[in-house]
Amino acid sequence: MLDSLLSTLYLWLIAPFDYAFMSRALLASLALSLAAPPLGVFLMLRGMSLIGDAMSHAILPGVALGFLMAGFSLPIMSLGGMLSGLLIALLAGSVSQLTGHREDSAMASFFLISLAAGVMLVALGGSSVDLTHVLFGSILAVDTTALVLITGISSLIVITLAVIFRALVVECLDPLFLRSQGTRSGLVHGVFLGLVVLNLTAGFQTLGTLMAVGLMMLPATTARFWSTRLEGLIVLSVVIALGASLGGLLISYHLSLPSGPAIILLAGVAYLLSALFGRQHSLSARLRRRATPLRADDHA
Amino acid sequence: MSRLVLHDLQLARGGRTVLEHLEGRFQDGAITALIGANGAGKSTLIQAIMGNLTPVAGRVECAVPAARRAWLPQQLALDLSFPMSVEELIMTGTWPSHGAFKGYCAAHYRRGREIMERLGISRLAHRPLGELSGGQRQRALIGRTLMQEAELLLLDEPFANVDVDTVEMLMDVLREMAEQGATLIIVLHDMEQLARLADDVLILSQGHGRWATPDALVERHTGQLTRPPRLPLTFPGSV
């Protein structure tokens, strides 16, 4: 009885990763799950939840150009994506700085232009299969080069985030305080947006340019239903992303479903459940009629 | 002594001159009230003093290092839904000495606790900012400037939206800071608060600045003297 249970569990949970392509996919998505959610938490707290989406469009023309010039070469495509993402973020930022145009509308305009340009470029040089690949990725096609690239970028993001962490926190709460201290808050903001672009380029191979945003934002917005503390939000969102990655890969393996959407949908399920039953701001929290007694936290 | 001097200052916003020919010295250890109608240029002047706005003409001479200048904007300017506790906010006041990288040591946490004690917010140390009342938030924000050991402090309507007890406490704290030599500039609207707190008044009106004493201003404003006239000790006819 126990033996058969164990062997079923083994077949379900462990055996799939005996295949090299599955274990590479797992490693890649776990690395992304460590790097993406903290960025998502900060984007969410800055009221920039949709910027990730916009950014994901911005890396498309570069990826497409890399594809046209070098064929399906991940390093070249990633480099192209990174450059076009940074360039367009910089352009949008400076247009709003120079003209007084609101930053969000400048970004929206540039990102729509770049999405159209990217799709056009892909169509010029390839087939619709290539387009689907770039837009939605295929996590099961991650080779060793891609894995090295993804884990390298993820490590870089985590380290940089740790370095700028305090500045980022202070800048989110009160940018003027930072500026009055002689620190250029624009620099912190710029480095942060750069990390978002980096993360999206790391994610596009596995999840596609559009889905990569999902692993960044969904765990972060889900965590908001459970924690009111920054550390809590970050740890929780990483745990959710890790769980969604592992679960999504297994589901996609056993049910022969595309892996990217499986991972993101699983994170989406976590979001919906949290919206219903979470500890903060959820439906059940709203219906709950209990409160901590007065002065309960005096002794905390 | 004054470490902050304005020299024939002309300031503009969006190509339109807001203030011109502004002169004056802010005394060390004095509290200057900045008053004026909406749009008179109070915020513009504060921006210029903080060095965030380049004057069209003239200059701001400020001997206080940037790290020791603190500006407390109106509460609305801050994102108070950010998940940060009172203690964490106060600890960010160590920025001048610690910057982005250096770890906090026990001495700084102790100083933070002393500040919270002084401001009567010790029991709120771990409460998120978003759950505080207006008065509690203002105490926490003043706590950050105390941590920062600010020598030039600019406050934009610090008593708006704040309960009476907090106003009393903050007035004491601000007065203490001035006594220790800090220069304070406070945007105020309330004449009573002005009479109690300010040593000097800078009135901004129609693009110009005018200096006044609180007594003269309050007298003109209300038609009453700030302090009741001293009664004669002896009355006619008394022995």
Task: Write phi, then psi, for B54 (nearest 5 degrees).
Answer: -85, 130
Determine contact: A167 vs chain B, CB below 8 A.
yes
Task: Quote the CA–CA distance of A247 and A265 in Å, as a whole number.
Answer: 10
Q: What percent of chain A has pLDDT over 90?
A: 31
CB of A183 within 8 Å of a chain B CB? The answer is yes
Measured distance CA(A142)–CA(A145) in Å, rounded: 8
ipTM: 0.74
**Nearest Cα to A165, choosing from A188, A134, A136, A198?**
A188
Helix, strand or coil, per DSSP, at residue B102: coil
Are A139 and A259 within 8 A, CB to CB?
Answer: yes
Query: Domain coordinates of chain B in residue numbers?
Result: 1-64+152-161+181-226, 74-150
Please answer yes or no on whether A181 and B85 come within 8 Å at the CB atom.
Answer: no
Domain definitions of chain A by residue range = 23-278
Long-range contact list for B123-128, CB < 8 A, 24+ apart?
B123/A297, B123/A298, B124/B86, B125/B85, B125/B86, B125/B87, B126/A297, B126/A300, B126/B85, B126/B86, B126/B87, B127/A297, B127/B85, B127/B86, B128/A228, B128/A229, B128/B83, B128/B84, B128/B85
Q: What homologous superfamily does CATH list for B1-64+152-161+181-226?
A: P-loop containing nucleotide triphosphate hydrolases (3.40.50.300)
Which 8-state DSSP code applies to residue B131? G
- Residue range A23-278 forms a domain whose CATH class is mainly alpha
A126 band by pLDDT with thresholds 50, 70 and 90? low
Put simply, whether A176 touches B (Cβ < 8 Å) is yes
B5-55 tens-digit pLDDT: 999 989 988 888 888 898 888 988 899 999 988 888 888 898 888 887 888
**Chain B residues bordering chain A (beta-carbon distance below 8 Å):** 50-52, 66-67, 69-71, 73, 77-79, 81-85, 89, 92, 95-96, 99-101, 123, 126-130, 144
Residue B40 Cα, gap to closest chain A Cα (Å): 22
Looking at the DSSP bridge assignments, the partners of residue B209 are B204
Q: What is the pLDDT of residue A36?
A: 95
List the single residue in B with minimal CA-CA distance to A227: B83
A-B contacts at Cβ under 8 angstroms: 72
Work out the minimum CA distance from B66 to partner chain A, whole angstroms: 6
What H or E segment, with its residue span, contains residue B19? strand B16-26
Average of per-residue pLDDT across A201-228: 88
- Would you say residue A166 has pLDDT above 90? no
More confident residue, B1 or B89: B89
pLDDT at B239: 44
Classify B135 as helix, strand or coil. Answer: helix
User: Is residue B32 classed as helix, strand or coil in its secondary structure?
Assistant: strand
Residue among B53, B62, B75, B79 with most chain A CBs within 10 A, to mutate: B79
| Residue A50 near residue A227, CB atoms below 8 Å | no
What's the gap in Å between the CA of B167 and the closest CA on chain A?
Answer: 23
Q: A225 and A270 in contact (C-beta within 8 Å)?
A: no
CA–CA dist A241, A156 (Å, integer): 18
Average confidence score pLDDT of chain A: 85
**Nearest by Cα to A231 from A29, A45, A28:** A45
| pLDDT recorded at residue A300 | 43
B212 to chain A, minimum CA–CA distance in Å? 29
Do the Cβ atoms of B95 and A172 come within 8 Å? no
pLDDT tens across B54-104, in order?
888 888 998 888 888 888 887 666 777 788 899 998 998 888 777 777 778
Cβ distance of A173 and B70 shorter than 8 Å: no
pLDDT, residue A11, reads 85
Q: Which of A 215-244 lie inside 8 A of B, CB atoms?
A: 227-230, 232-233
The verdict on a CB contact (< 8 Å) between A170 and B96 is no
Cα of A199 to nearest chain B Cα, Å: 23
Three-state SS string over chain A comes to CHHHHHHHHHHHHHHHHHCHHHHHHHHHHHHHHHHHHHHHHHHHHCCCCCHHHHHHHHCHHHHHHHHHHHCCCHHHHHHHHHHHHHHHHHHHHHHHHHHCCCHHHHHHHHHHHHHHHHHHHHHHHCCHHHHHHHHHCCHHHCCHHHHHHHHHHHHHHHHHHHHHHHHHHHHHHCHHHHHHCCCCHHHHHHHHHHHHHHHHHHHHHHHHHHHHHHHHHHHHHHHCCCCCCHHHHHHHHHHHHHHHHHHHHHHHHHHCCCHHHHHHHHHHHHHHHHHHHCCCCCHHHHHCCCCCCCCHHHHC
SS3 B209: strand
